[in-house]
């Protein structure tokens, strides 16, 4: 195999998703620890804590102890080059999370062993199903009191509609957590819980069969008998392991462990890397783009301004879909219709950067953006023009009217609002034939209102007033020929335009949506927009 193909083969690009406090960021850091990317894991805690998680780089994240933006991290482990896309898990996450999943080839779903499947997990899981990508489950916090593992499997299957295959099986939980049984290797991995939180690998592998007389001495006779019964039931009644079902997100391999104490993290990482695919092919306007073809191509899935306050910079994150990127190469920006050189290509560890000379399909790179890129843009070689499928724009669920308090700062207000909207953290709208003195801001989660206000004040020196609005639904108008004067809508419905001047309707309830469709049979409404 050529060096070029082998470099792509060893790439693994995945997102980590979870509900708040399930341990996603802790698991991410332990991956980085094993890969040698960091030397010390920083637990995500309150603002008094001196250390913060590597993936939580924005100041507001450090203050609140949560992930607000999606981070990108790359490291090497056991011959693999790993790109982790760490998504926000908090309840008020943003559309940034959805788009990040569009750049991943697989997903790791972290579930709290005591709480099981939670609302945020369901939302993120639906996006994974749209992508038809493998989903791996890590049941975390087994060192605490946990639900019955059979009940957890049943809940995952019923609520998420995906079959499960336990790769390992827990022996006890909480203070009685003795370790896990590896079903493939048919060996016990015992758990030593002392001092593991500081990065010490407290895992001892003991190769014992279920029939070995020493097993009862090691884990206790009650745990031995429970384990024997559980494994007999699993072997007889659980789904068979089918790699093809895994690849299409219909069967989820399940692992049990404890990210905080490192138990089960390294075996999970090794099995996951063995099962998860190298970079996947992508649909485009000219058909499927093979990651192994020699022409470079990529798409923009995230834009982040002011990562470095000293430089007021703006970085476009690109997922490389095919070929090899080389520093200084000339590429075509399809949406802009211009040839460009991607300046200062970087790979990132959260906010830390490293200028690179080359990158391959599967990698995520950040490039300086002078304001030309938008979410979903395609970058390709000039001799083979095409566009990747657009990234869905999800409808906001919360709306507010926003205006600056100081009218003399209108220029800063417009610039900041537009840049944050172009990043995709918020969506902005205005009434037809009006300017930007006053805008309607739409968000997926209400925390984004706080983030928006915080960033305008700290990055653009603009203070704002926000007034909550009662709208709950948004629909894109897809008619090519559209005359607003023909529209028959209720007084509770508002016609607006986005920053690309596309028309949309805001509704207070579903009744008003039905009214609009009945009174305007010619009207084409869509729940999703396209970037």
Per-residue pLDDT of the chain (531 residues; tens, 9 = 90+): 468 899 999 999 998 888 777 777 888 888 888 777 554 444 333 333 444 454 444 554 445 444 334 467 888 899 999 988 876 654 555 566 777 888 999 999 999 999 998 776 777 777 777 778 899 999 999 999 999 999 999 999 998 889 999 999 999 999 888 889 999 888 888 876 554 444 444 556 677 778 888 888 888 899 989 999 999 999 888 889 999 999 999 999 999 999 888 888 888 999 999 999 999 999 999 999 999 999 999 999 888 776 555 545 778 889 999 999 988 889 999 999 999 988 677 665 544 567 778 899 999 888 888 888 888 899 999 999 999 987 877 788 899 999 999 989 999 999 999 888 877 778 999 988 776 668 999 988 787 898 889 889 988 999 999 999 999 999 999 998 899 999 999 999 999 998 888 899 999 999 999 999 999 999 999 887 765
| Chain centroid, CA 344 distance in Å | 25
Q: Is 19 annotated as a binding residue?
A: yes
Q: Is 22 annotated as a binding residue?
A: yes
Q: Is 86 annotated as a binding residue?
A: yes
Q: Is 406 annotated as a binding residue?
A: no
Tokens of 524: 């084409």
- Max distance between CA atoms of the chain, in angstroms, equals 83
Scored b (16 or more CB within 10 A) or e, 89-99 reads bbebbbbbbbb
One-character DSSP codes across 168-230: EEEE--GGG--EEEETTTTEEEEE--TTGGGT---EEEE---TT-THHHHHH-HHHHHHHHHH
Same structural domain, 12 and 117: yes
Q: Is 87 annotated as a binding residue?
A: yes
Same structural domain, 488 and 376: no
Which positions ≥6 away from 126 have C-beta within 8 Å?
Answer: none
Same structural domain, 148 and 95: yes
Q: Is 114 annotated as a binding residue?
A: no
Q: Is 89 annotated as a binding residue?
A: yes
Same structural domain, 369 and 424: no
Same structural domain, 346 and 271: no
Q: CATH number for the domain including 24?
A: 3.40.50.300
Same structural domain, 462 and 347: no
Scored b (16 or more CB within 10 A) or e, 53-62 reads bbbbbbebbb
Facing residues of 403 across strands?
438, 465
Residue 156 lies in a domain: yes
Phi, psi angles (nearest 5°) of residue 298:
-160, 165
Same structural domain, 472 and 339: no
Q: Is 306 annotated as a binding residue?
A: no
Q: Is 461 annotated as a binding residue?
A: no
Q: Is 142 annotated as a binding residue?
A: yes
Which of 260, 277, 294 is the last residue in one of the domains?
Answer: 277
Which of 250, 277, 304 is the last residue in one of the domains?
Answer: 277
Neighbours of 390 (CB within 10 A): 16
Q: Which range marks the domain in which residue 420 is found? A: 398-526
Residue 294 lies in a domain: yes
Same structural domain, 52 and 167: yes
Residue 166 lies in a domain: yes
Residues composing the chain: 531
Residue 231 lies in a domain: yes
Which of 351, 380, 409 is the last residue in one of the domains?
Answer: 380
Q: At what angle do helices 149-160 and 119-131 cross, to 10 degrees?
A: 60
Residue 390 lies in a domain: no
Q: Is 275 annotated as a binding residue?
A: no
Q: CATH number for the domain including 341?
A: 2.40.30.10
Same structural domain, 321 and 267: no
Same structural domain, 362 and 314: yes
3-state SS assignment for residue 84: strand
Residue 129 lies in a domain: yes
d(CA 423, CA 400): 18
Which positions ≥6 away from 181 have C-beta within 8 Å?
Answer: 168, 169, 171, 187, 188, 189, 210, 227, 231
Tokens of 412: 């800063």
Pairing between β-strand 324-326 and β-strand 203-206 as defined by DSSP bridges: unpaired
Same structural domain, 445 and 513: yes
Q: CATH number for the domain including 470?
A: 3.30.70.3280
Same structural domain, 457 and 471: yes
In the block, tokens 């983030």 appear at 451
Residue 386 lies in a domain: no
Which positions ≥6 away from 34 have C-beta within 8 Å?
Answer: 77, 265, 266, 269
Q: Within a 13 Å sphere around the CA of 261, how many CA atoms are in the beta-carbon half?
A: 23
Total domains in the chain come to: 3
CB 291 within 8 A of CB 5: no
Residue 387 lies in a domain: no
């Amino acid at each position: 195999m050529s060096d070029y193909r082998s470099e792509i083969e060893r790439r693994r690009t995945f997102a980590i998703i979870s509900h708040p406090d399930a341990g996603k960021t802790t698991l991410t850091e332990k991956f980085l620890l094993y890969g040698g990317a960091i030397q010390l894991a920083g637990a995500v805690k309150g603002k008094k804590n001196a250390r913060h998680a590597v993936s939580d780089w924005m100041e507001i994240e450090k203050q609140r102890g949560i992930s607000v933006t999606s981070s990108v991290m790359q490291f090497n482990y056991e011959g693999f080059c790993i790109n982790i896309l760490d998504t926000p898990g908090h309840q008020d996450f943003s559309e940034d999370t959805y788009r990040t999943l569009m750049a991943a080839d697989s997903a790791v779903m972290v579930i709290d062993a005591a709480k099981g499947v939670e609302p945020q997990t369901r939302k993120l899981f639906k996006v994974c199903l749209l992508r038809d990508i493998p989903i791996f489950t890590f049941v975390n916090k087994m060192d605490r009191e946990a639900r019955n593992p059979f009940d957890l499997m049943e809940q995952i299957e019923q609520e998420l509609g995906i079959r499960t295959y336990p790769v390992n099986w827990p022996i006890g939980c909480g203070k009685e957590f003795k370790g896990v049984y590896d079903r493939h290797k048919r060996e016990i991995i015992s758990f030593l819980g002392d001092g593991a939180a500081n990065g010490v690998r407290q895992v001892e592998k003991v190769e014992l069969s279920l029939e070995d007389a020493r097993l009862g001495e090691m884990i206790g006779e009650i745990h031995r008998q429970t384990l024997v019964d559980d494994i007999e039931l699993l072997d007889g009644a659980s789904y068979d392991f089918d790699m093809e079902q895994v690849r299409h997100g219909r069967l989820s391999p399940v692992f049990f462990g404890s990210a905080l104490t490192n138990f089960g993290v390294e075996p999970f990482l090794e099995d996951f890397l063995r099962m998860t695919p190298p970079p996947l092919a992508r649909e485009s306007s000219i058909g499927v783009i093979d990651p192994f073809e020699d022409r470079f191509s990529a798409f923009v899935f995230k834009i982040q301004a002011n990562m470095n306050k000293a430089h007021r910079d703006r970085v476009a994150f690109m997922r490389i879909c095919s070929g090899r990127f080389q520093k200084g190469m000339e590429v075509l920006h399809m949406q802009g219709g211009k040839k460009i050189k991607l300046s200062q290509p970087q790979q990132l560890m959260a906010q830390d950067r490293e200028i690179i000379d080359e990158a391959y399909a599967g990698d995520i790179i950040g490039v300086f953006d002078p304001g030309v890129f938008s979410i979903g843009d395609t970058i390709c070689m000039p001799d083979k023009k095409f566009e990747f499928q657009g990234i869905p724009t999800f409808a906001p669920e919360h709306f507010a009217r926003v205006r600056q308090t100081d009218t003399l700062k209108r220029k800063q207000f417009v610039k900041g609002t537009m840049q944050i909207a172009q990043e995709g953290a918020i969506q902005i709208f205005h009434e037809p034939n009006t300017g930007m003195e006053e805008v309607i801001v739409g968000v997926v989660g209400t925390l984004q209102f706080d983030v928006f206000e915080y960033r305008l004040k700290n990055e653009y020196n603009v203070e704002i007033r926000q007034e909550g609005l009662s709208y709950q639904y948004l629909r894109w108008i897809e008619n090519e020929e559209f005359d607003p004067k023909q529209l028959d809508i209720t007084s509770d419905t508002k016609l607006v335009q986005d920053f690309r001047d596309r028309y949309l309707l805001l509704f207070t309830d579903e009744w008003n949506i039905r009214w609009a469709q009945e009174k305007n049979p010619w009207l084409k409404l869509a729940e999703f927009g396209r970037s």
